[in-house]
Chain A
Amino acid sequence: MAEVSFQGKTFEVDEDGFLLRFDEWCPEWVEYVKESEGIAEITEDHQKIIDFLQDYYRKNGIAPMVRILSKNTGFKLKQVYELFPSGPGKGACKMAGLPKPTGCV
């Protein structure tokens, strides 16, 4: 397993760049990931999605379905893609520190 260092913090990540442990998430992680996810600046809208994903994960132990993400944040899927070009799974969940999406993806 690879380790990356950024602004004095180290993160354990897998080959796709997902955090191995949700607990290791910190605001620096978002700063570190945003470039590889094609995001210039973290706006309030980005933060809103990240916060919702984290709250939902802490509470339910799973990532929300896309429809639930849309309904709660008020962002249509198209807007989610505008914010996170790689999409809600590879983009937003990775930045929020959630486990890598599984199944037939």
Chain B
Amino acid sequence: MAFISSGYNPEKPMEGRITDIGPQHYAQFYPPVIARNKGKWLYHEIIEPGVLVHVAESGEKVYTVRVGAARLMSITHIREICEIADKHCGGHLRFTTRNNVEFMVETEEAMKALRDDLASRKFDGGSKKFPVGGTGAGISNIVHTQGWVHCHTPATDASGPVKAIMDEVFEDFQSMRLPAPVRISLACCINMCGAVHCSDIGVVGIHRKPPMIDHAWTDQLCEIPLAVASCPTAAVRPTKVELDGKKVNSIAIKNERCMYCGNCYTMCPALPISDGEGDGCVIMVGGKVSNRISMPKFSKVVVAYIPNEAPRWPTLTNTIKHIIEVYSENAMKYERLGDWAERIGWERFFQLTGLEFTHHLIDDFRDPAYYTWRQSTQFKF
């Protein structure tokens, strides 16, 4: 396509430049009923999975229909969302913090028409474009990351496994049968962008081999002290190596100290670490961010390694499904997965789920590891 200028002049880049204007004010995009009743809501109800109603002091109601979204979406898809909003909601809509889409209307009839319209739309492959759900004690969207779509440090994909997992647990997106909401998150490396460290179920991509060292380029492309300081176990140190008869500054890695976090590759492009067979996922469970009943918790590693099995990750999805099933059969009402596991004891969690307890799961990172061991005789056989 031919070049079409937006009016920007590369000869004078600072001319007519607008900066620091921030985002648009959110009130500009309120549906009228929201604008009128802001700060005056009395109560709300979940009418059915994916449909909420909020009632204001004035008696006005707003019905919200929540639909799943793939997060990664085309402008065509966004235009279809806009078309629906134009048709039913006066052009208004919103995205949730789990990347679902919410359409709001003022009457029950309009809500029903909207809900049925949304539920009827499908992609050519057959998947639902706008599955209604994600409310109450079910499984809402999966907070996830870039994976092989865009990032350079992933150990697994994001969009692929998320689609595979949501297909497996789809019924729980459209129902509210669980003891409490189950939040699933996925991060494709241990940078843990997103929410895996504080989710009921977290999936994290991991490596199992130390980085390769491109000696020819380490001193050229990298600031070596940064790579040294990036290592949590101090496995990285500067060194000189002989390369084609020349001494060059480079990096040495103590493999027995390396736990393959990949931080040094983040800082230094000459230390690539990704590996087809070595890479895979860990599963963490039991995290939460809310303060309800118990304090917020970190999720804990319960499965040390599951291989990458593109495109459907069957072992990963089956394990997650199984954990959810055991949790929903055993936990009490309002009990989040972490609350349940802590109440029955982690040894019972492993027994009930049948997950293998391997030495990888025992914390060995610095002094705090000690506090994760059992300094008590209280345990169940």
Contacts and interface: CB of A to CB of B under 8 A. Distances in A.
Interface of A: 20-22, 38, 57, 60-63, 85, 99-100, 102-104
B223 A103 contact: no
Nearest to A63: B223
29 contacts: A20-B217, A20-B220, A21-B220, A22-B220, A38-B13, A38-B14, A57-B223, A60-B225, A61-B223, A61-B224, A61-B225, A62-B223, A62-B225, A62-B226, A85-B13, A85-B14, A99-B220, A99-B221, A99-B223, A100-B221, A102-B222, A102-B223, A102-B226, A102-B266, A102-B267, A102-B268, A102-B269, A103-B267, A104-B191
Contacts of A104: 191, 266
B13 A99 contact: no
A22 B223 CA distance: 11
Given A102-B223, A102-B226, 9 more contacts: A20-B220, A20-B221, A38-B14, A57-B223, A60-B225, A61-B223, A63-B223, A99-B221, A100-B221
Interface residues of B, number: 15
B16 to A, nearest CB: 13
Nearest to A12: B220
Residue among A60, A62, A102 having the largest count of chain B Cβ atoms under 10 Å: A102
Contacts of B217: 20
Interface string B194-226: 000000000000000000000001001111111
A92 B50 CA distance: 51
A38 B226 CA distance: 29
A94 B101 CA distance: 42
Nearest to A60: B225
Contacts of A22: 220
Contacts of B220: 20-22, 99
Contacts of B225: 60-62
Nearest to A38: B13
Interface string B52-67: 0000000000000000
Nearest to A20: B220
Nearest to A62: B223
A99 B268 CA distance: 10
Contacts of B222: 99, 102
A61 B226 CA distance: 9
A63 to B, nearest CB: 6
Interface in B7-21: 13-14
B227 to A, nearest CB: 9
Contacts of A61: 223-225
A28 B187 CA distance: 44
Contacts of B268: 102
A22 B13 CA distance: 27
Contacts of B221: 20, 99-100
B266 A103 contact: yes
A16 to B, nearest CB: 12
Nearest to A22: B220
Interface in B202-259: 217, 220-226
Contacts of A63: 223
A20 B269 CA distance: 12
A102 B271 CA distance: 12
Contacts of B223: 57, 61-63, 99, 102
Interface in B130-144: none
Closest 3 A/B residue pairs (Cβ): A38-B13, A62-B223, A102-B267
A93 to B, nearest CB: 10
A94 to B, nearest CB: 14
A29 B267 CA distance: 25
A99 B41 CA distance: 55
